[in-house]
Amino acid sequence: MAKDVPRTWYFKHVAKKSIVLIAYEKVNGKVEYDLDDFRVIARATVLKGIVVALLSIPGGVIAATATFGLGLIIIPMGVYYGYRNVFRLPKMLSRKKLIDEFSAFGISVR
């Protein structure tokens, strides 16, 4: 690990309190990134979104039974998070979108 070396970090806000590190600049000016990892992350978020959306319905019904109906709020929240993970996050982390953003910063991707 090199200490006291200035680096440029390229990151993306995916939620209010979470970010994803896209790339970083090394000491010699070369930018390190791995777009194949983002393909795996995008596929995993799709699967996670489907699971969250499907499990929010029985979870909301069980919580509603225990809390006299107040737990039904869980269903729309779970469907929203499922939608976000199935459609929005893979679009944000797609190869085309990342290459376009890198080109906006002047980074050429091979």
Percent composition of the chain: helix, strand, coil (DSSP 3-state, to 5): 60, 15, 25
Give me the residue spans of the domains in the chain: 34-104
Q: Is 39 exposed, middle or buried (0-12, 13-18, 19+ CB in 10 A)?
A: middle
Report the chain's terminal Cα–Cα distance, integer Å: 27
Q: Is 21 left (phi over 0), alpha (psi -120 to 50) or beta?
A: beta
pLDDT tens-digit map of 2-40: 677 777 888 888 888 888 888 888 878 888 888 888 889
CA–chain centroid gap for 84, Å, is: 9
Q: What is the pLDDT of residues 83-104, one digit of tens each?
A: 999 999 999 988 899 889 888 8
Q: Which residues pair with 27 in a beta bridge?
A: none
